[in-house]
């Protein structure tokens, strides 16, 4: 079978067998099986799910990495594709099936170009990207220790096949979560003077944290605060003892991230105090913002042009990607690959145009071989 047919068959298999974060056992076994059939080496790594392939060039050079995430989502597929997900309520709705296949294709093509390949390329099949923490599993193995640069790709259903989105600078946001617990004193609903009602305090905190973006962050910096859950009480005539609000803060600039955390804590605690209540803030830090290195962006654009791909400015997003954890170690570049216009990622009708698979593998091979 020609490589194009093989890659299409692999893609369809992965699409039909989506697995959730940290449960990618079948997926890992299948990637392993394919890599062995294709004669690609696998690095010994202590990973429950996910694996790392390696292609060693015959010329001396640096070690570079490509990150391909492998997990699916708890979504009921509604694409009507002939190779629809076999698992009810699970779907590759973020295109990670495409990332896996492009990564395999890249490895196969690099192996064919071993003589011209300078250095080593590690292809990381990373678990649990959707959990925001899967990258840490890979980092724990030490496989990144000798790597000097890392590339990542993502399917982009806002662009046609044959289009590559690249841009220097921040392209995704830091993803942080907060939980504020406001503690008052419960009492009868008819006698608020007997207690301390946490509800108006919580409402004032919801209003207060909205001023972080409008009053504290530089107006030229992207940032947002969303309160997404607000809970208090369980009936109509009792003033509850506590109210809880939860939400997310998204920032791109590092300083803004520090500032936003400080302001959420200050506002929550001082507003609660002004109402006679007390607030405690729990801050759950997620991945930092993904930042595209200028030099790597240039190389990535050149490789795209060499492959006849159309280069467009990459849209940045207030969503996140744990790819940024690798960038705490080495410079990185996160590329958006046009997969044909259609439903957005994480939607039940999201689809990847199969035509882009081989072209993407060829592009990645060009990029990783070319330096
Ligand atoms: Ni994704």
Query: How close is the Cα of 124 to the center of ligand 1, in Å?
Result: 15
Pairing of strands 187-188, 238-239: antiparallel
The total number of residues written for the chain in this structure: 371
The 10s digit of each residue's pLDDT in 215-274 is: 999 999 999 999 999 999 999 999 999 999 999 999 999 999 999 999 999 999 999 999
164: closest CA among 317, 345, 338, 342? 338
Instruction: Output the CA–CA distances (angstroms, integers) from residue 158 to 10, 100, 275, 297, 315, in the order listed.
Output: 24, 20, 47, 20, 10
| Rounded Cα–Cα distance for residues 369 and 371 (Å) | 6
pLDDT per residue as tens, the chain (371 positions): 899 999 999 999 999 999 999 999 999 999 999 999 999 999 999 999 999 999 999 999 999 999 999 999 999 999 999 999 999 999 999 999 999 999 999 999 999 999 999 999 999 999 999 999 999 999 999 999 999 999 999 999 999 999 999 999 999 999 999 999 999 999 999 999 999 999 999 999 999 999 999 999 999 999 999 999 999 999 999 999 999 999 999 999 999 999 999 999 999 999 999 999 999 999 999 999 999 999 999 999 999 999 999 999 999 999 999 999 999 999 999 999 999 999 999 999 999 999 999 999 999 999 999 76
Query: How close is the Cα of 52 to the center of ligand 1, in Å?
Result: 18
Domains and CATH numbers, the chain: 3-172+289-370 (3.40.630.10), 174-285 (3.30.70.360)
370: closest CA among 293, 291, 296? 296
Query: How close is the Cα of 79 to the center of ligand 1, in Å?
Result: 18
Query: How close is the Cα of 76 to the center of ligand 1, in Å?
Result: 17
pTM score, whole prediction = 0.92
320: helix, strand or coil = coil
Residue 270: partners with Cβ closer than 8 Å, 6 or more residues away: none
Location of structure tokens 């509604």: 78
Query: How close is the Cα of 330 to the center of ligand 1, in Å?
Result: 21
Query: How close is the Cα of 122 to the center of ligand 1, in Å?
Result: 20
Are the beta carbons of 359 and 161 closer than 8 angstroms?
yes
């Amino acid at each position: 079978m020609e490589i194009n047919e093989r890659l299409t068959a692999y893609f369809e298999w992965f699409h039909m067998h989506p697995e959730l974060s940290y449960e990618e056992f079948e997926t890992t076994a299948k990637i392993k099986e394919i890599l062995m059939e294709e004669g690609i080496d696998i690095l010994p790594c202590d990973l429950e799910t996910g694996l790392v392939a390696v292609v060693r060039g015959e010329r001396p050079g640096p070690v570079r990495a490509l990150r391909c995430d492998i997990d699916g989502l708890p979504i009921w597929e509604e694409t009507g594709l002939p190779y629809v997900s076999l698992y009810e309520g699970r779907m590759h709705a973020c295109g990670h099936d495409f990332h896996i296949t492009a990564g395999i294709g890249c490895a196969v093509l690099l192996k064919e170009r071993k003589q011209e390949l300078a250095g080593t390329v590690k292809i990381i099949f990373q678990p649990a990207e959707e959990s925001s923490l899967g990258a840490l599993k890979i980092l724990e193995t030490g496989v990144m220790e000798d790597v000097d640069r890392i590339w990542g790709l993502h399917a982009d259903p806002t662009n046609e096949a044959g289009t590559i989105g690249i841009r220097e600078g921040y392209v995704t946001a830091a993803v942080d979560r907060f939980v504020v617990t406001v503690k008052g004193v419960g009492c009868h609903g008819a006698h608020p003077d007997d207690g301390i009602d946490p509800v108006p305090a919580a409402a004032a905190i919801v209003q207060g944290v909205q001023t972080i973006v409008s009053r504290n962050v530089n107006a030229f910096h992207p940032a947002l605060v969303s309160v997404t859950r607000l809970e208090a009480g369980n009936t109509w005539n009792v003033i509850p003892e506590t109210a809880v609000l939860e939400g997310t803060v998204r920032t791109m600039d590092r300083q803004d991230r520090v500032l936003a955390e400080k302001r959420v804590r200050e506002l929550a605690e001082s507003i609660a105090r002004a109402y006679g209540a007390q607030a405690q803030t729990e801050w759950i830090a997620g991945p930092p913002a993904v930042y595209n290195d200028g030099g790597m962006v240039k190389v990535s654009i050149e490789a795209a042009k060499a492959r006849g791909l159309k280069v467009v400015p990459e849209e940045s997003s207030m969503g996140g990607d744990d790819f940024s954890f690798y960038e705490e170690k080495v410079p990185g570049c996160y590329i958006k690959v046009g997969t044909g216009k259609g439903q957005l990622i994480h939607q039940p009708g999201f689809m990847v145009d199969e035509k882009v698979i081989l072209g993407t593998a060829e592009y990645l091979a060009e990029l990783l071989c070319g330096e």
